[in-house]
Amino acid sequence: MSGTQTPNRRRIWIVAVVAVAAVGLVLGLVLFKPWLLFVDVKVDEQLPIVASGPPLAQPATPTPFAPTQTPAPVPAGPVQLAVGTLISHEHATTGTVRIVQQPDGARLLSLENLATSNGPDVHVWLSAAHVVEGTAGWFTAGSADYYDLGLIKGNLGNQVYQLPTDVDLSKYRSVDLWCVQFSVSFGAAELAT
């Protein structure tokens, strides 16, 4: 009798190991989404054009009874507030980050010619951290104050994000492409005015 139980026990163990492996594989696929590394999402939004000259003054209309006043300068078009070049962290990343203020006061953050890997849960962050090159910089943004602009729209191309009016840009030194799920930076850009 003991000889017939051994094959049954062995069969039960094999079935249990296969079941655990199958559950582990499904969980791994759901959590890591490895297929995203092979799928590119290209975005090509209209980028703001930055004014190349200084702000223009509106011409004053003199009246016979009022002295001519010099009006406040009005930007000729969008004005660049900050710019930076993306460097690679966990994944090879290139492109330009630009923060632009529109003539109406609205501020936009653009990712221009972005090229990075696709991944799960990658967000665009304004970060108070300095950008550090190499593996030492992979986790820097996670330990600093940040403002989350939401999920990245795609891993290739041009994209634009609206910056809320209450965001104090002086608090943020960089832009980070941050994978929230794994707490790691795909790439980042130090901002310069």
Q: Can you tell me the distance from the alpha carbon of 87 to that of 143, in angstroms, rounded to the nearest whole number?
A: 19
pLDDT over 90 at 175, yes or no: yes
Whether 105 is covered by a domain: the verdict is: yes
Specify whether 17 is located in the same domain as 82: no
How many structural domains compose the chain? 2
Whether 64 is covered by a domain: the verdict is: no
Specify whether 15 is located in the same domain as 43: no
Specify whether 119 is located in the same domain as 186: yes
Q: Compute the residue count for the chain.
A: 193
For 79, counting Cβ atoms within 10 Å of its Cβ (0-12 exposed, 13-18 middle, 19+ buried), the class is middle
Specify whether 44 is located in the same domain as 108: yes
pLDDT tens profile 130-162: 999 988 888 888 889 999 999 999 999 999 999
Specify whether 97 is located in the same domain as 161: yes
Cβ atoms of residues 68 and 120 within 8 Å? no
Whether 57 is covered by a domain: the verdict is: no
Specify whether 178 is located in the same domain as 93: yes
Q: Decide: helix, strand or coil at residue 162.
A: strand
Query: What is the pLDDT of the chain when averaged over all its residues?
Result: 82
Specify whether 1 is located in the same domain as 23: yes
Q: 15-48: buried (b, 16+ CB within 10 Å) or exposed (e) per residue?
A: eeeeeeeeeeeeeeeeeeeeebeeeeeeeeeebb
For 105, counting Cβ atoms within 10 Å of its Cβ (0-12 exposed, 13-18 middle, 19+ buried), the class is exposed
Q: Can you tell me the distance from the alpha carbon of 181 to that of 120, in angstroms, rounded to the nearest whole number?
A: 7
Instruction: Collect all residues with Cβ–Cβ distance below 8 Å to 46 and sequence separation of at least 6.
Output: 158, 160
Whether 87 is covered by a domain: the verdict is: yes
Specify whether 168 is located in the same domain as 137: yes
Q: pTM, whole model, 2 decimals?
A: 0.70
pLDDT tens profile 64-120: 555 555 555 555 678 999 999 999 998 899 999 999 999 989 999 999 999 998 888
pLDDT tens profile 25-77: 766 655 556 655 567 889 888 888 876 544 444 445 555 555 555 555 555 67
State which residues form the domain around 103. 39-51+75-190
